[in-house]
Amino acid sequence: MSVVTIQLGQCGNQIGFEFYDLLSKSATKPNHAPSSSFHSDDYSDLVSERFFHVNEKDKMFARAVMVDMEQKVIGQALHDTQRQSLWGYHKDAQVTGKKGSGNNWAQGYCHHGPKCISDVLDTVSKEVEQCDSLGGFLALMSLAGGTGSGLGAFVTTALKDEYPHATIVNNVIWPYTTGEVIVQNYNAVLTLSHLYSTSDGIIVMENEKMQKICSQLLKIKNVSFKDINKVVATKLAGVFLPACDTSDSTCLSKFVVADILSNVCAHPGHKLLNILNIPVVPKTSLAYTSYNWNMLVKHCRQMLIANANMEEGVNWSIKLPKAAKPVSETEMTNQTSTFNRSLSNQIFLRGKDASTVDLSSFEDSQLYTSWVPSYGRFHSAWQRNSYNEIEQSVTLLSNSQTPLKPLDAVVSKAWNMFASRAYVHQYAKHGITDDDFVDSFVALEQVVKNYSNL
């Protein structure tokens, strides 16, 4: 089943390029000899079928729709793909305008959204028609700007109306705490509140955390947005590349987007997701680095418990409470403040012997909130083909308290600005009312409460 990606705004289109560039390598280069136990399909064919369609000259074209109200970024992406013969974007898969949204969510949502949505849906329809079977949509966008966030929220709503039975996942890039866009907290609040009512799952990636991965783990001295986008693409690929449900020893299941979301977003009040991946090493160090599955799983679990985005510097002193006699609600609240509690987790193992790894440590009931049944807490998938030139890798898609702190901070900052009426007029002139702001605050304050009570 195929995935159609919607690349929204500058951020979404730049990430989309890196995402497909990484996927194209898995679609053309099997990492080691195929195994007969991986059904009858070749892995590279599965990747190609899911993310690309191939023309008569065997060139792959991304199953993607590129949307931006300025032409520069899309033009650059098209130029970059034309410089190589491996993959490209279809020439009719772009929707552009002549003027951006000026970092104003209201302009993207109220003006550009209604103006271009017919063209966007027509272009999406053409991509969907080329899929033998639609497995879902992946929308790539930022929270801080105007086009990616405002137009992105509008497009997501329209997609849900047009394809009510299709799974929609939004990957959103969280702005720097002290970003250059002074109204970024408004934009983030308005975007998230709208996505929460239409998206099936929202993957949150924080710019600051991605930059730390680049500088501290990948040893990049002058980190660029391209470097950050490659980190984001690697995380996404670890989740969305084909894999097999661990319970399916024959690997007849292709484990599509709907399967993933049903495992981690079963409750409509909890849709925020985080991706942890390990190992993360510079390409120059790969030849001198070795790992084993037990170590990777152990370290990934501690990263989850300690709410650490990187293996480096993870706090090993944070531990789960030992299962003992029943505890009071007050005691439970005190315990949750010491470690990152989960609602559900989905792990992906990629590499040799991935199907044989012991994952029982992730089944510990103390990791999870008490009201989630045992069968809904933890799920696993494997793929014997590695990716991104790493022989063994672990990727964890987690629905946990990780986004709670940044979400609470953004809502508080935006509320303080709104209370002082700062920049509200810039939104009002495009049709966003005080009630729209208040509704967004109320919706996200409920999300904060939901995750605080895990």
> Same structural domain for residues 265 and 347?
no
In a domain, 91, yes or no: yes
Does residue 204 share a domain with residue 134?
yes
Report the C-alpha gap between 112 and 436 in whole angstroms.
18
CA distance 60 to 62: 7
Q: Domain check: are 439 and 389 in the same one?
A: no
Separation between Cα atoms, residue 448 and residue 405, nearest integer Å: 9
CATH code at 130? 3.40.50.1440
Inform me whether the pLDDT recorded for 400 exceeds 60: yes
Q: For residue 254, what pLDDT is reported?
A: 62
181 pLDDT band (50/70/90 cuts)? confident
Residue 333 maps to a domain: no
User: Do 206 and 289 reside in the same domain of the chain?
Assistant: no
Give the per-residue pLDDT at 34. 44
Q: Which of 358, 381, 401 is the last residue of a domain?
A: 401
Residue span of the structural domain in which 70 resides = 2-28+43-273
Pairing state between β 87-88 and 52-54:
unpaired
Verify that 59 and 121 share a domain, yes or no: yes
Q: Is the pLDDT of residue 326 over 60?
A: no
Strand partners, 347: 380, 396
Report if residue 327 sits inside a domain: no
Q: What is the pLDDT of residue 331?
A: 53
> How many domains are there within the chain?
3
Give the phi and the psi of residue 262 in degrees, each rounded to 5.
-65, -25
299, 265: one domain = no
User: Is position 324 within any domain?
Assistant: no
pTM of the model: 0.93
> In Å, how far are 10, 53, 193, 230 from 90, measured between CA atoms?
18, 10, 33, 22
Write the CB contacts of 415 (distance below 8 Å, at least 6 apart in sequence): 441
How far apart CA 130 and CA 4 sit, in angstroms, is: 10
List strands edge to edge, sheet with 2-8: 94-96, 64-68, 2-8, 134-142, 168-174, 201-206, 272-278, 392-400, 342-351, 378-383, 244-245
Domain assignment present for 162: yes
With respect to residue 326, please indicate whether it lies within any of the assigned structural domains: no
Say yes or no to pLDDT of 418 above 80: yes
User: What was the pLDDT predicted at 256?
Assistant: 83
pLDDT in tens, 201-233: 999 999 999 999 999 999 999 999 999 999 999
**What mean pLDDT value characterizes the chain?**
91
The answer to whether residue 33 sits within a structural domain is no
Q: At 319, give phi and psi (nearest 5°).
A: -130, 160
170 and 263 together in one domain? yes
Please report the pLDDT score of residue 451 as a whole number: 98
Query: Is the residue at 236 inside a domain?
Result: yes
Q: Which of 92-106, 217-231, 260-274, 432-446 has the lowest mean pLDDT?
A: 92-106
